[in-house]
Amino acid sequence: MFHDMTELVRIGRVLEEAHSLLAGERKRLERQYGPTRYDAVAGSPAQTLHGAADLAGAMSTALKQVALAVGYSVLGLDDRAERTLKVARMKPVSFPSGADRMARPLGEATVRAMELVRDLGFFDEETAIAVDVALAAPQATYPPADWDAYTREQLDRSEPQ
């Protein structure tokens, strides 16, 4: 066992706290909005619920990966533990991008969970920057109203400067 278990426990607890906050926020929003029909309007009730579910799901997946890595490490399966931690550290799918779908202002629990993950130092720096961008956005940005402009912007971002 070569992994710092104290650090992995700390990471797991922060991920669990973030997940609990986001899952609670999702339930609160479900009660607030009630049943919704799917639509493709950024910040709508349907998109806000979708975003909240995405955020909670991303944290659940990250927590499971960390827990699996801890289990492998305890069993002395260090190669598996290392591979699993590498997967766990990858930019979480739909985090923080789920917030891009959500109406503003974001709920207090959502903001707190995003700040916890940003400050955790477990994921790459790009994730922390993306959290700051999502938290600073004055309104929902996804899905875009103009897909052609969105596609051009994404292409411009991907071209080397």
pLDDT tens-place string over residues 27-54: 999 999 988 888 889 999 999 999 999 9
Confidence of residue 1 (pLDDT cuts 50, 70, 90): very low
The CA distance from 99 to 146, in Å, is 19
- Positive or negative, the CA dihedral 71, 55, 136, 116 is negative
**Residue ranges of domains in the chain:** 5-158
Taking only the tens place, the pLDDT of each residue in 47-94 is 999 999 999 999 999 999 999 999 999 999 999 999 999 999 998 989
Please return the burial class of 78, using the count of CB atoms within 10 Å of its CB with bins 0-12, 13-18 and 19+: middle
Written as six digits, the tokens of 59 are 């944290």
Q: Return mean pLDDT, the chain.
A: 92
pTM for the full model? Answer: 0.88
* Mean pLDDT to the nearest integer, 114-133: 96
3 state SS of 129: helix
Alpha helices, H only, the chain:
5-33, 45-74, 78-89, 108-120, 125-136, 147-158
Using the Cα atoms of residue 137, residue 100, residue 119 and residue 28 in order, give the sign of their dihedral: positive
Would you put residue 4 in left (φ > 0), alpha (ψ -120 to 50) or beta?
A: beta
Neighbouring C-beta atoms of residue 105, cutoff 10 Å: 10
